[in-house]
Amino acid sequence: MSYYLDLETWPRREVFEFYRKFDKPYFNVCLRVDVTNLLSALKQRADRPSAWLTYHYLALRAANDIEQFHYRLRDGKVLVHEVINGGTTVILPNETFTLVYFDHSESYTTFMEGATRAVDEIQTGDWKFRPKHEDDARIHCTTLPWIAFTSFSHARRWWGREDSVPKISFGKFVKENGRTLMPFSVEVHHALMDGLHVGRYIERMEEMLATPEAYLD
pLDDT tens digits for range 44-74: 999 999 999 999 999 999 999 999 999 999 9
Phi, psi of 12 (to 5 degrees): -90, 15
Residue 206, C-beta contacts closer than 8 angstroms, at least 6 positions apart: 33, 34
- Which residue type occupies 42? L
pLDDT tens digits for range 165-197: 999 999 999 999 999 999 999 999 999 999 999
Contacts 24+ apart (CB under 8 A), 214-217: 215/58, 215/61, 215/108, 216/41, 216/42, 216/45, 216/49, 216/54, 216/108, 217/107, 217/108, 217/109
* C-beta separation of 158 from 170 below 8 A: no
Q: What confidence category does residue 1 fall into, taking pLDDT thresholds of 50, 70 and 90?
A: confident
Q: Which pLDDT belongs to residue 156?
A: 79
Specify which residues 96 forms β-bridges with.
none
Q: What confidence category does residue 159 fall into, taking pLDDT thresholds of 50, 70 and 90?
A: low
Q: 95-105: b or e for each residue (b if 16 or more CB lie within 10 Å)?
A: eeebbbbbebb
Which CATH number characterizes residue 77's domain?
3.30.559.10
pTM of this structure: 0.94
Domain span including residue 91:
3-214
Please report the beta strands in the chain, taking only residues with DSSP state E, as ranges in sequence order.
Answer: 3-4, 26-34, 71-74, 77-80, 85-91, 97-102, 138-144, 167-171, 174-176, 179-189
Q: Give the number of residues written for the chain.
A: 217
Q: Which pLDDT belongs to residue 158?
A: 62
Tally of domains within the chain? 1
Q: Which pLDDT belongs to residue 160?
A: 54
Q: Which pLDDT belongs to residue 74?
A: 93
* C-beta separation of 135 from 81 below 8 A: no
